[in-house]
Structure 1
Amino acid sequence: MADNRGVVYLGSGKVEVQDISYPDLVLHEGPGVPKENAGRKCEHGVIIKNIVTNICGSDQHMVRGRTTAPEGLVLGHEITGEIVEVGRDVEFLKKGDIVSVPFNVACGRCKMCRRQDTHICQNVNPERPGGAYGYVDMGGWVGGQSEYVMVPYADFQLLKFPDKDLAMEKILDLTMLSDIFPTGYHGAVNAGVTSGSTVYVAGAGPVGLAAAHSAQLLGAAVVIVGDLKEERLKQARSFGCETINLQEHDDVGEQIEQILGVPEVDCGIDAVGFEAYGHGTNHEEAPAAVLNTMMDVVEAGGKFGVPGIYVTDDPGAKDQDAMHGSLKVRFGLGWSKAHSFATGQTPAMKYQRQLMNAILHGKADIANVVNATVISLDEAPQGYKDFDSGVAKKFVIDPHGMVRK
C-alpha cells in the first residue's frame, strides 16, 4: 500500500506535514469525526491522487486558532486530482479520470441536495447540515492537502474534465473550481450582479478577487475592491478593478462617490467575513465592519452576497458576543433600505460546470486573477505563514511534482 502525507493542524499557528494513513473507502475514527460518522462505509467513493490542492483563507481561520478545530485535523478542502481507485458502487467514473472535487461533501439523495443546496446536505454530518473536507464541525471528512484522499458519493459529486491533456494545461485555473471560483461567483449571483451593475467587493484576498472577476463575467460596468493591503489592491487593479485602500480612507461611500459620482453601488459582496478590521486608523478587529459598510453603501432595494465566513464559535474574539457569533450589525439601516442578502457556504456544484467551460474556452482567467503560485507539499507550512501575512498570492500545493516545471 502506498504511503501518504498531509498537512496537519497542531494548534494555534502551527501546521506540519506528517505521515498520515493512506485512505480507504471508510471514514475512520479520528480528529473531528463525530461518533455517528466513525466507521461509515463509502463504497460509493473513490481514492484520488491529488494533482493540486490549495491553501484557502477558510483554512487560515482554523490555523489562527479562531475556531474550535481539533488538533490533528488534516487540512484542505480544495482538491483536484486523478482517480486511482473506484468503489464497488461507483458506476460512471473510472481510474485515470481527472476530476474536480467540490469542497462540499454531499450525498445527492436528501431534500437539500435534490434542490441543489449541496452546502447543507442532511446526510453527511450528524451534527449540523453540511459537510466539507478537513474543516471544523463539517462531519470529520479527512482533508485533501495531502498526496491521496478519499471522496465519497463520487458519481454525484465529481466533475470530470472532458480532455485530460487540456486539463493539465489549464490545471492552475481548474483547481480554483473546487472552491474559490464558485464561491466568488455565488457571491456575485446572490448580489444580483448583471449587465451594467456597479459593485463593491470588500476584501482582495483570493475569494474577493474571484468575486470581482465573477462580477466582470456577469457584465458589471464597474467593480470596486476595498482592502487594507496595497499589494492585494494592486492585484485587483491588474485585471481592471477600481480600488479603495481602507487603511487610508475610512469613508467607503465617499471613495465610491469619487469613482462613480454617487456614494452608493447597485450591489455588494462581503468576501472578508468575521475577521474584519475597522477602516482608516482604526486597525482593531471589528467583525461587523463589512456588513455595516454594505448596509451603508448598497443602494436602497439593493442586494449583497456574503461568501465571507461567519462562525458560531470564535475563541479568539475580542468580546463575549462575538465569541458566539453575535455581531453589532446595523440591521435597522438595512431594513429601512429594503436590503436583501444571502449567506452561507457555497453550493459549489451548482456553478462548477459553467465555470469550467468558461475556463476551457478562454472566457475566464482565474489563475492570473488570484496570482496562483505553485509550492510543494513540504513548502505548505511556509505557504500558510506567507498567506497569513497578506501576500497577494493563491498558494497551490503540488504534492507529486506533476505541475512544477
Structure 2
Amino acid sequence: MPSNHGVAYMGTGKVEVQSIDFPKLELREQKRKCHHGVILKVVSTNICGSDQHMVRGRTTAPQGLILGHEITGEVIETGRDVEFIKKGDIVSVPFNIACGRCANCKEGKTGICLNVNPARPGAAYGYVDMGGWVGGQAEYVMVPYADFNLLKFPDRDQAMAKIKDLTLLSDIFPTGYHGAVSAGVGPGATVYVAGAGPVGLACAASCHLLGAAVVIVGDLNKERLAQARRFGCETVDVSKSATVQEQIENILGVPEVDCAIDCVGFEARGCGHNHSKEVPAQVLNSVMEITKAGGAIGIPGLYVTGDPGAVDEAAKVGSLSIRIGLGWAKSHTFVTGQCPVMRYHRRLMMAILHDKIKIAKATNVQVISLKGAPKGYTDFDKGAARKYVIDPHGMIKA
C-alpha cells in the first residue's frame, strides 16, 4: 500500500506536512464500509482563503486537522456500489459533500446536505465543524457518494493540459460565479466586488463571463488590485481617504452600482484611516451603501458562528453590527451561504475547455509541491496575489 502525507493544522499560524493513514473505503464516524465511495490519487489540491481563517486561529478547528477542500484527482479504487465513475478517471471534487438522497440535495441545495454532518446541515473536506471528513491537501483521499458528487472530465489529456484552470472548479470558480449570479449580474451590469483575493478575482472574472459592463474590485492590497486590473477590472483602494462611494463615482459618474458581492467575509478591515483595524461588518455595510435600491448582494465571503479571535464578544459568536435597516429601506436582496458547487461546475468546466475563460490567469495560479505547502500558507497570509495549487505527485506540467 502506498504511503500518504497530508497538510495538518497544528495551531495558530502553524501547518506541517505529516505522514497520515492511507484512505480506506469506510465512513469513520459511522464505523461502516463506504461502498459508494472512491479513493483518489490527488492531482491537485488548492490552498483556500477559508483554510487561512483556520490557520490564523480564527475558528475552533482542532489541532491535527488535515486541511484541504479543493480537490482534483485520479480514481484509483472504486467501491462496490459505484457504477459510473471508473478507475483512471480524472475528476473534480465539489468541496460540498452531498449524499444526493436527502430533500435538500434533491432540490439542488448540495451545500446543506442533511446526511453528511451530524452537527448541522452541510459538510466539507478538512474543515472545522463540517463533519470530520479528512481533507485533501494530501497524496490520497477518500470521496463518498462518488457517482453523485464527482465531475468527470471528458478527456484525460485535455484535462491535464488545462488542469491549472480545471482545479479551480472544486471551489473558488463556482463560488465566485455563485456570488455573481446571486447578485443578479448580467449583460450591461455595473458590479462592485469587495475583495481581491482568489475568490474575489474569480468572481470578477465570472462577472465578465456573465456580460457585466463594468466590474470594480475593491481591496487594501495593491498587488491584488494590480492583478484585477490585468484582466480588465476597474479598482478601488479602500485604504485611501476617498470613500468607496466617491471612488465609484469617479469611475461610473454615479456613486452606486447595480450589484455587489462580498468576497471578504468576517475578517474585514475598516476603510480609509481606519483600514488597519478589524471591523467585521465593514464590507456588508459598505455594499449596502453603494448598491442601488432594489439591487442584490451576493455574500460568498465566509461568516462563522464561532470566532475565538474576534474583536468583541458579540463577534465571537457571529453577531455583527449590520445596518439591516439600510438594506431594508433600499429593498436589497441578500444571498448567503456555501456555494452549491454542483449547480454550476459542469457548465463552468465547458467554459474552460472551450476557452471562454482563463480563470487560472485571472487568479494567478502558482503550482507548488506538497512539501512547499507551509511556505504557501505563509506567503498567502502575507497577501500574495496568487492562488496556490499543490501538486502532490508532480503531475502538473510547467
TM-score, normalising length: structure 1: 0.97
Deviations 1:186-216 (A, max 9, x none): 0000000010000000000000000000011
2:337 to 344, 365, 386: 344
Tell me, yes or no, if structure 1 residue 391 matches structure 2 residue 388.
no
Instruction: Report percent identity of matched pairs.
Output: 69
Rounded Cα–Cα distance in structure 1 between residues aligned with 2:265 and 2:242: 18
Rounded Cα–Cα distance in structure 2 between residues aligned with 1:308 and 1:217: 20
Counterpart position of 2:328: 335
Deviations 1:37-90 (A, max 9, x none): 342431100000001000000000000000000111000000001000000010
Rounded Cα–Cα distance in structure 1 between residues aligned with 2:139 and 2:46: 12
Coordinate RMSD, CA, aligned: 0.7
Counterpart position of 2:37: 45
Deviations 1:103-156 (A, max 9, x none): 000000000000110000000001000000000000011000000000000000
CA contact (8 A) 1:74 1:143 kept: yes
Name the amino acid aligned to 1:281. Answer: H
2:289 to 286, 290, 296: 296
Partner SS for 1:304 = strand
Counterpart position of 1:136: 128
- C-alpha displacement at 1:249, in angstroms? 3.7
Partner SS for 1:105 = coil
Counterpart position of 2:369: 376
Counterpart position of 1:70: 62
Rounded Cα–Cα distance in structure 2 between residues aligned with 1:250 and 1:10: 41
Partner SS for 1:81 = strand
- C-alpha displacement at 1:260, in angstroms? 0.3
Partner SS for 1:6 = strand
Rounded Cα–Cα distance in structure 2 between residues aligned with 1:19 and 1:398: 17
Rounded Cα–Cα distance in structure 2 between residues aligned with 1:38 and 1:201: 41
Rounded Cα–Cα distance in structure 2 between residues aligned with 1:275 and 1:267: 22
Name the amino acid aligned to 1:403. Answer: I
Partner SS for 2:367 = strand
Partner SS for 2:41 = strand
1:316 to 262, 284, 309: 309
- The correspondence of residues 161-200 of structure 1 with structure 2, limited to 5 A, is 161-200=153-192
Counterpart position of 2:53: 61
CA contact (8 A) 1:10 1:16 kept: yes
2:211 to 219, 226, 233: 219
Counterpart position of 1:25: 25
- C-alpha displacement at 1:404, in angstroms? 4.3
Rounded Cα–Cα distance in structure 2 between residues aligned with 1:92 and 1:320: 49
Deviations 1:309-368 (A, max 9, x none): 000000000100000000000010110001011000000011000000000000010000
Rounded Cα–Cα distance in structure 2 between residues aligned with 1:345 and 1:41: 28
Counterpart position of 2:90: 98
CA contact (8 A) 1:398 1:404 kept: no
Partner SS for 2:344 = helix
Runs of 4+ in 1 over 3 A off after TM superposition: none
CA contact (8 A) 1:374 1:404 kept: no
Any unmatched runs of 5+ in structure 2? none
Name the amino acid aligned to 2:337. Answer: G
CA contact (8 A) 1:227 1:244 kept: yes
- C-alpha displacement at 1:247, in angstroms? 1.1
Name the amino acid aligned to 1:16. Answer: E
Taking a change above 3 Å as real, the CA distance of residues 319 and 365 of structure 1, as seen in their structure-2 partners, is: same
Rounded Cα–Cα distance in structure 1 between residues aligned with 2:180 and 2:241: 24
Tell me, yes or no, if structure 1 residue 237 matches structure 2 residue 255.
no
Counterpart position of 1:153: 145
Rounded Cα–Cα distance in structure 1 between residues aligned with 2:221 and 2:32: 44
Tell me, yes or no, if structure 1 residue 5 matches structure 2 residue 23.
no
Counterpart position of 1:111: 103
Rounded Cα–Cα distance in structure 1 between residues aligned with 2:42 and 2:106: 28
Partner SS for 2:86 = coil
Name the amino acid aligned to 1:13. Answer: G
Partner SS for 2:74 = strand
- The correspondence of residues 201-220 of structure 1 with structure 2, limited to 5 A, is 201-220=193-212
Partner SS for 2:327 = helix
Rounded Cα–Cα distance in structure 2 between residues aligned with 1:208 and 1:251: 20
